[in-house]
């Protein structure tokens, strides 16, 4: 039962363009959503989060959008840089419960 779904295993984007990574969830009880980034041979690192009371959160080049009615969130990276090439994990939780991760999307930034 995949409660957090990242349907695109990989994505290739030209350097300088916008990268959009998508995530869908099924559990309406989730009230906190996060994105993590993972490089090979390293543990995931926290990137950005959003509470269910908001529909947008921005941090530098990274913006997360939340559409609660569609149970969908997306991560926008503008402009994309070579160092952004990594696996991105979407995650969700409700307070006092475990954090559930998606399967990840591998982002390739092309020169």
Chain contacts with another protein (rule: CB under 8 A): 6, 32-34, 36, 41-46, 49, 89, 91, 93-104
| 43 or 83: CB nearest another protein | 43
CB of residue 16 to another protein, shortest distance in Å: 29
Q: What angle do CA 79, 36, 87 make, to 5 degrees?
A: 70
- Listed in order, strand segments (DSSP E) in the chain are 4-5, 10-14, 19-25, 32-38, 45-51, 56-59, 62-67, 72-77, 86-93, 100-101, 105-110
Reported residue count of the chain is: 111
CB of residue 12 to another protein, shortest distance in Å: 19
| 65 or 79: CB nearest another protein | 65
| 71 or 79: CB nearest another protein | 71
């Amino acid at each position: 039962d995949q409660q957090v779904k990242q349907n695109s295993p990989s994505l290739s984007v030209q350097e300088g363009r916008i990268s959009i990574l998508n995530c869908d969830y099924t559990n309406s009880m989730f009230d906190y959503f996060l994105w993590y980034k993972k490089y090979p041979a390293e543990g995931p690192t926290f990137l950005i989060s959003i509470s269910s009371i908001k529909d947008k959160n921005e941090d530098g080049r990274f913006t997360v959008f939340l559409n609660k009615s569609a149970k969908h969130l997306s991560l926008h990276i503008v402009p994309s840089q070579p160092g952004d090439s990594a696996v991105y994990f979407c995650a969700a939780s409700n307070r006092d419960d475990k954090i559930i991760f998606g399967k990840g999307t591998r982002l390739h930034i092309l020169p």
